[in-house]
Structure 1
Amino acid sequence: MVSIDEVARAAGVSTATVSRALSGRGQVSLGTRSRVLATAAELGYVVSSSASSLASGRTRNIGVLLPVVDRWYFSTVLAGIASGLQRAGYDITLYALTEDAAERATVFETFLRRQRVDAVIAIAISLDAAEVERVEALGLPVVALGAAHPRLPSLSVDDVAVARVATGHLTALGHRRIAHIGTTSAHDADGDHIPTLRRHGFEQALADAGIPAASARHEHADFTIEDGHRAAMRLLRSDEPPTAIFAASDEMAIGALMAARDLALSVPGDLSIVGVDGHELSAFFGLTTVDQFPHDQGLRAAEAVLAELGDAAPPAPLAPLPFELVVRASTAPPARPSP
């Protein structure tokens, strides 16, 4: 393995100059920096992460908290974060923050306190007051993405508005028997929980259209294709099936599409379906969706945390993130207008 001393000898400079040139810190002329970089590349020299940490006090590593990894939304957001951080020379360490209280405590009390990360990004996670205090006590920059936190810098879409746009599209088409697949009151975690906010937006859109809240149908599902399929089957096999479904994620909406197919129902002739996310398969299935641009969300989170670390210019203000209704073939006016 090539050492820094070998790079210094080959470039005709001191090891201190090599260190300054490679780290970007300290005064080094442009010509010397170029020569050192070219020599290091030619020799295949890679900066030791441990040595770099000792010299700079930085680990060049960002901790990312997320509830699951194997869902499309989270993996796509992670791809955006990784893209933004790798350009700046940072690594990522993932921490699964499940619903298990003991596992969550271990993340905050052990893993994050080892001082192996320079900052933290929390993706779509509801943190209680004690957990927020633990994060703040770390003294590290923290950015919350996908779930707004009053005490933490946050990047999020307006999930109530997202659901109102999706449901409003259905009411504008003339649908009155509209069901929602997502969370139900019995499963609410708290008022700031993303699925809860989307349910509220659904109910507000019904009220905007003069549809009684008592007539709304809700089916709980776990934001997967399989659970969306099961929830849709329950709705579509009921005595008064809906003419339209708003699913709180595209994966659940795809499950609803599969349920309609299994019951030999036409989409959108017999049933209109709209989801949320902008899933890469939504275009393939002709699914109307509210695209929230998750890859770009990840890039924005990376920019925000790099700015907190002083490694990037300040990003755009942490305002609500953009979203867009994308109308495709899964929605149309009902075949028979509701009374």
Structure 2
Amino acid sequence: MDSELPRELTLADIARIAGVGLGTASRALSGMPNVSPATRQKVLDVAKKHAYVVSPDASRLKKGSTGRVAVVAPHLSRWFFGAILEGIESVLRESQFDVLLYHVGNLEDRTSFFERLPARRKVDAVIVVGFPVEEAERRSLELMLGVQVVAAGGQHEVYPHVCIDDLRAGGQAMGHLLGLGHKRVAMIEAIDPDQPRQPSGRSRAYHLALADAGIKPDPSLVVTTDWGGEEGASAMAQLLSASELPTAVYAHSDEVAFGAMRTIRDAGLRIPEDISIIGIDDHPHAALLHLTTIRQDARLQGVLTAQMLLGLLRHEEDTALSVTVDTQLVVRRTTAAPRPA
């Protein structure tokens, strides 16, 4: 009889009431695999009815882990990073992992974080979001024996990672503009000045597309700036100061494109009649502004990264070590064929 049970139930009590084995009850309450949905729900219902709570310290001690994951990101306010973090957190929360968020906004922050990380030794894993790990940082991570490292939102040759193919995304953007008949295409190349400069697939896509189309590159049509709307607006002003205007602009991100659109319209020019523009991301505001773009699912990248990490921590043999999320061209109202000369 339930009334004869001790006031503080043990895991064995929960297993007996639910009619399952002790190991099955433990896996069900810990969010581990190899438990049917019906059995898991049955165990959870019993635990809830009797106000049974798994002791985090006991559970982590049994697993030989901390139950914590460090997520390292260079930006928190930008849409892309926020969406990835949301996806990561949603999966890890369901598996009862705590997320420790570390903001490394500049090179000094990054250096400090990676130098102190091995001494902390208080996480099971590190997820690096949106930036490549440098050699010195990699050495610091390798000092943390047993700590899994996964990269989200960027190609990474060293660690398991989830990303889009930037070269493909840039090729889709340029293919759309060139397919419409544009020959004088400008590029607003975005880089992060607080992060080490790395070769960009989005930039390589621009030059490869021009070469494939037999178009001689014009250095005056490439402006390099930071990721952001105001930066995009300033870069577009520089492009409009040229003696011959571009007929189309390829921006490395939608936020950069938003700023460029403002500058084009402030100059009395029409989009797309005078200048076409395309971005990458499918930012939540892109549809509102009718921006043609290359869609990437940032939240999905976060979800897949967290799922990959859990598979690695559980030593699941079928865990993929490299996942590339597809991108799609979304045509709206900011691109059209160039006007006849």
The normalised TM-score by structure 2 is 0.84
Deviation digits for residues 202-225 of structure 1 (CA, Å, limit 9, x no counterpart):
111111111112355111221111
- Measured on the aligned residues, the alpha-carbon RMSD in Å equals 3.2
- What is the CA–CA distance in structure 1 between the aligned matches of 2:31 and 2:85, rounded to whole Å? 27
Q: From 3, 6, 9, give the equivalent of 2:8.
A: 6
Deviation at 1:245, TM superposition (A): 0.7
* Partner residue, 2:72: 65
* Partner residue, 1:244: 248
- Cα gap change, 1:220 to 1:246, in 2 (>3 Å): same
- Cα gap change, 1:153 to 1:266, in 2 (>3 Å): same
SS in 1 for 2:324: coil
* Partner residue, 2:179: 172
Confirm or deny: 8 A CA contact 1:304 1:314 kept in the other structure: no
- What is the CA–CA distance in structure 1 between the aligned matches of 2:316 and 2:336, rounded to whole Å? 46
Work out whether 1:106 is the aligned partner of 2:108. Answer: no
Work out whether 1:218 is the aligned partner of 2:222. Answer: yes
* Partner residue, 2:142: 136
- Cα gap change, 1:31 to 1:74, in 2 (>3 Å): closer
* Partner residue, 1:200: 204
Work out whether 1:235 is the aligned partner of 2:242. Answer: no
Q: From 145, 154, 159, give the equivalent of 1:147.
A: 154
- What is the CA–CA distance in structure 2 between the aligned matches of 1:243 and 1:320, rounded to whole Å? 32
Name the % identity.
Answer: 36
- Cα gap change, 1:56 to 1:47, in 2 (>3 Å): same
* Partner residue, 2:125: 119
Q: Output the amino acid matched with 1:152.
A: Y
Q: From 89, 93, 97, give the equivalent of 1:82.
A: 89
- What is the CA–CA distance in structure 1 between the aligned matches of 2:54 and 2:212, rounded to whole Å? 59
> Which consecutive residues of structure 1, in runs of 5 or more, have no partner in the other structure?
none
* Partner residue, 1:308: 312
Work out whether 1:53 is the aligned partner of 2:73. Answer: no
Work out whether 1:259 is the aligned partner of 2:266. Answer: no
- What is the CA–CA distance in structure 2 between the aligned matches of 1:33 and 1:162, rounded to whole Å? 41
- Cα gap change, 1:8 to 1:127, in 2 (>3 Å): closer
- What is the CA–CA distance in structure 2 between the aligned matches of 1:52 and 1:190, rounded to whole Å? 42
Confirm or deny: 8 A CA contact 1:7 1:45 kept in the other structure: yes
Deviation at 1:99, TM superposition (A): 2.8
Confirm or deny: 8 A CA contact 2:274 2:339 kept in the other structure: yes
- What is the CA–CA distance in structure 1 between the aligned matches of 2:111 and 2:127, rounded to whole Å? 17
- What is the CA–CA distance in structure 2 between the aligned matches of 1:110 and 1:265, rounded to whole Å? 52
- What is the CA–CA distance in structure 1 between the aligned matches of 2:173 and 2:184, rounded to whole Å? 15
* Partner residue, 1:295: 299
SS in 2 for 1:290: strand
SS in 2 for 1:252: helix
The normalised TM-score by structure 1 is 0.84
Deviation at 1:98, TM superposition (A): 3.1
Deviation digits for residues 248-289 of structure 1 (CA, Å, limit 9, x no counterpart):
011101111122222222111111010011211111111111
